Amino acid sequence: MEFKTPASLHEEHEALHKALKTATGYSGKTGEAAKVVAKVLHPHFIKEEEYALPPLGLLPLLAEGKILPEMKPVISMTDKLKLELPEMLEEHKEIESALKELIKASKAENHPDATTFAEQLMEHAKTEETISYPTAILIGEYLKLKLK
């Protein structure tokens, strides 16, 4: 069984990457600040796509009451997320700090799209912290109980 990040979340990540790429193309402090965001964000997004978000792809099946033995490998993903959650949340703080600098620079240099991107990414991180990560962990804990 393949575990995939839900398409909507994957597309959101892609849109955020695209907006960031645009921002890194600006000259001046906006471009510099965007490059700092990219540097701290990229490794974090890789972790999310590797083990934090793919378990969420099981939600439709689980909501239908379908529990399959082939789902068991997702438990290692959610265990890894649970173990690394403090580090991931710390990374969010680093990302947020870099985004605040991007907002400051983009407002000063009149790049409203970069400001919008930064604000959207900050909201995205809050959603991950309060919904996506806890849900992924719960999926793993649920499967542990059901697949004993």
Kindly report, residue by residue over 124-133, the tens digit of the pLDDT.
Answer: 999 999 999 9
Is residue 66's pLDDT more than 90? Answer: yes
User: Comparing C-alpha atoms, which of 127, 4, 135 is closest to residue 63?
Assistant: 135
Residue 148 binned pLDDT confidence (cut-offs 50, 70, 90): confident
Spatial separation of the C-alpha atoms in residues 115 and 52, rounded to whole Å: 27
Q: Is residue 69 part of a domain?
A: yes
Q: Is residue 2 part of a domain?
A: no
Q: Is residue 72 part of a domain?
A: yes
Give CA 91 to chain center in angstroms: 11
Q: Is residue 101 part of a domain?
A: yes
Cα-based distances in Å from 28 to 14, 23, 55, 86, 115: 25, 11, 40, 34, 15
Q: To which H or E segment does residue 22 belong?
A: helix 7-24
Q: Is residue 1 part of a domain?
A: no
Q: State mean pLDDT over 42-46.
A: 94
Q: What is the predicted pLDDT for the residue at 1?
A: 85
Q: Is residue 49 part of a domain?
A: yes
The pTM assigned to this predicted structure is: 0.94
Q: What is the predicted pLDDT for the residue at 56?
A: 98
Q: Is residue 24 part of a domain?
A: yes
Q: Is residue 67 part of a domain?
A: yes
3 state DSSP class of 92: helix
How many folded domains does the chain comprise?
1
The residue segments making up the domain with residue 33 are 7-146
Spatial separation of the C-alpha atoms in residues 35 and 42, rounded to whole Å: 11
Q: State mean pLDDT over 49-78.
A: 97
Query: Which pair of tokens denotes residue 76?
Result: 């290692």
